[in-house]
Amino acid sequence: MGNFLHRHRRLTPYLLLAPGVAWLAVFFLVPLAFLGYQSLQSGTFPNYEFTWEFANFTEAISDYREQLFRSFLYAGIATVVSLLLAYPLVYWIAFRAGPWRNLFLLFIVAPFFVTYLIRTLAWLNILADEGPVVGALRGLHLLGPNEGLLYTTLAVVAGITYNFFPFMALPLYVSLEQIDARLLEAAKDLYASPVRAFLKVTLPLSAPGIVAGTLLTFIPAAGDFINAELLGTPKQQMIGNVIQAKFLESLDYPTAASLSFVLMAAILVALLVYARAVGSERLTG
């Protein structure tokens, strides 16, 4: 086995890629191609015709600009907040938790063992107007006597943040975990303050994790629909809700398909800008 790989070194990357990419090719790219075909159709359900209807795309962008922008805004805020919340926690798990690490990693992921609906109902319970949280906030005069937390932009963004927290925390952990504690010791020995040690040693070494976490949070969050559906009002609807409605209620498959491609393209553009900013080696190594 070892010799075979050695002799066919050029083939190695392709061999490594083959099974995974084959799976994606058949079960993602083929459906995606069909989706592309759908996006250029016109007509009404179920009699669509393929008419190279590029107008679907332009109409999609102009009609749903607001929701597109809002989705990116919410996803962006959620990503930043998630990063700020998660980093100290993950730092603690990687460097201070010792044998309890896996337990705390489990705590991070545990909310997913309880289906989305159930944990959102729990949040609705906790954040209800009659509940303790709102009561406390009103007592501190952070909320007016008639204001609440639910059915607001705050609720939707908080929902997205909470929902995607593991997607930020786990990749962060992955890159923090590998940092050799001795590097930090060396920095200390060289009279660096803890803050400097962090800024000059830990932070740069954890950069791949930050990049991975932000990608794994932002990209799916932009297409999220369920938080806006359960926690928001018509003013908080995201592009995911539009696509969902177009597909299920309006039976307008071409528009749903073209909107999906618009979203994908927008995300890829954002990705390119991001890669430029952080340096593309961070994304590919």
Partner 1 sequence: MTLLRRHALTAYALLVVGYLMLPIAVVILFSFNDPVGRFNYVWQGFTLDNWVEWDASLGLRDSVLVSLELGLLATLVATALGTLIALAIVRHEFRGRATANLVVFLPMSTPEIVLGASLLTLFLNLTSVFTLGFGTIFIAHVMFIISFIVVTVKARLIGFDRHLEEAAMDLGANEWTTFRKVTLPLLAPAMLAAALLGFALSLDDFVITYLNAGGEQTFPVYVWGIARVAVPPQVNVVASAIFLVAITLALGNAVWQIRTARRQRQGAR
Partner 2 sequence: MTRPLTRRQLLERAALGGAALTLPGFLAACGGGGDGGDAGGDELAAVLRFANWPLYIDIDEETKKRPTLDEFTRRTGVAVDYFEEINDNAEYFAKVQGPLSQGRGIDRDIFVFTDNSRFPGLLIDEGWVQKLDKELIPNISNLIEAQASPPFDPEREYSLPWQSGMTGIAWNEELTGPVTSIEQLFEDAKLKGKVSMLMEQADSVGLVMLANGDDPAEVSDETYDRAIDRVQAAVDSGQVVRFTGNDFAQPLTQGELAACVAWSGDMIQLLADNPKLKWGVPKDGGMIWTDNMFIPTGGSVPTASTYMNYVYEPPVAAKIAAYVNYVPPVQGAKEELLKIDPEIANNTLIIPDDELLAQLHQYDSAALANDEHISKWQTVLGQ
The answer to whether 74 contacts partner 1 (rule: CB under 8 A) is no
The answer to whether 19 contacts partner 1 (rule: CB under 8 A) is yes
Tell which one of 148, 232, 240, 254 touches partner 1 (CB under 8 A): 240
Which runs of E-coded beta strand occur in the chain? 41-44, 47-50
| DSSP bridge partners of 43 | 48
Tell me, what amino acid is at 18?
Answer: A
Tell which one of 252, 258, 260, 262 touches partner 2 (CB under 8 A): 252
Binding site partner of 24, from partner 2, partner 1, none, Cβ cut-off 5-8 A by kind:
partner 1
Binding site partner of 234, from partner 1, partner 2, none, Cβ cut-off 5-8 A by kind:
partner 2
Burial 166-185 (b: 16+ CB within 10 A, else e): bbbbbbbbbbbeebeeeebe
Q: Which residues in the 103-122 window bind partner 2 by CB under 8 A?
A: 121
Tell which one of 150, 197, 219, 263 touches partner 2 (CB under 8 A): 150
How many C-beta neighbours within 10 Å does residue 54 have?
11
Nearest approach in angstroms of CB 159 to partner 2 is 13
Instruction: Specify the stretch interacting with partner 1 by CB under 8 A; choose among 40-48, 136-144, 149-157, 203-211.
Output: 203-211
Q: What's the burial of 141, exposed, middle or buried (CB within 10 Å: 0-12/13-18/19+)?
A: exposed
The answer to whether 67 contacts partner 2 (rule: CB under 8 A) is yes
Task: Identify the DSSP state of 99.
Answer: G
Contacts of residue 172, defined as CB under 8 A and 6 or more positions apart, other chains included, come to 83, 86, 87, 90, 206, 209, 210, 212, 213
The answer to whether 53 contacts partner 2 (rule: CB under 8 A) is no
The answer to whether 117 contacts partner 1 (rule: CB under 8 A) is yes
The answer to whether 202 contacts partner 2 (rule: CB under 8 A) is no
